[in-house]
Amino acid sequence: MDIDARGPRFGAAVTAVVLAVVLVTGSAWLLAWQTLAFLLGAAGGVSRSPYGLLFRKAVRPRLGPPTGFEAPEPPRFAQAVGLLFAGLGLVGYTLGPDWLGLAATGAALAAAFLNAAFGYCLGCELYLLVRRVAVRAE
């Protein structure tokens, strides 16, 4: 079942804010929260992530009907990519080296910002690329 395309973009906006705060404060705890949010989004789909639930319960009822839908698989894959980068960032912030925490968190922030500001989902595009390569390999 397709999902409201505004949901993942809202989640990306919240994620961008969270990751920006992580970069400013160096808070491993906040990055741990974001890592958990990515984990839940990757495991259950973006509609079951904390930001997806917030969108569904608090934001979507205040908006008009959805104007666009998308398949849930690409955003879910994007959550898994975000989980990878947030996990690397968490390792960097907690165990070192510090540059790993900064670089991985910065990369995740860049991807979230692109989705939030311009509707361009890097993880979704990567999903489509992987699917094309897999089909050609068959």
pLDDT at 137 over 90: no
Q: Is pLDDT above 90 for 136?
A: no
Written as six digits, the tokens of 49 are 């992530």
Asked if residues 87 and 20 have their Cβ atoms less than 8 Å apart, the reply is no
Q: pTM here?
A: 0.95
Single-letter code of the amino acid located at 29: W
Distance CA 56, CA 36 (A): 19
Predicted pLDDT of residue 138: 79
Is the CB of residue 70 less than 8 Å from the CB of residue 29?
Answer: no
DSSP 77-106: HHHHHHHHHHHHHHHHHHTS-HHHHHHHHH
- CA-nearest of 101, 107, 85 to 35 is 85
List, for residues 53-63, the tens digit of each pLDDT value: 999 999 999 99
Residue 34: pLDDT above 90?
yes
pLDDT for residue 95 is more than 90: yes
When pLDDT is cut at 50, 70 and 90, the band that residue 68 belongs to is: very high
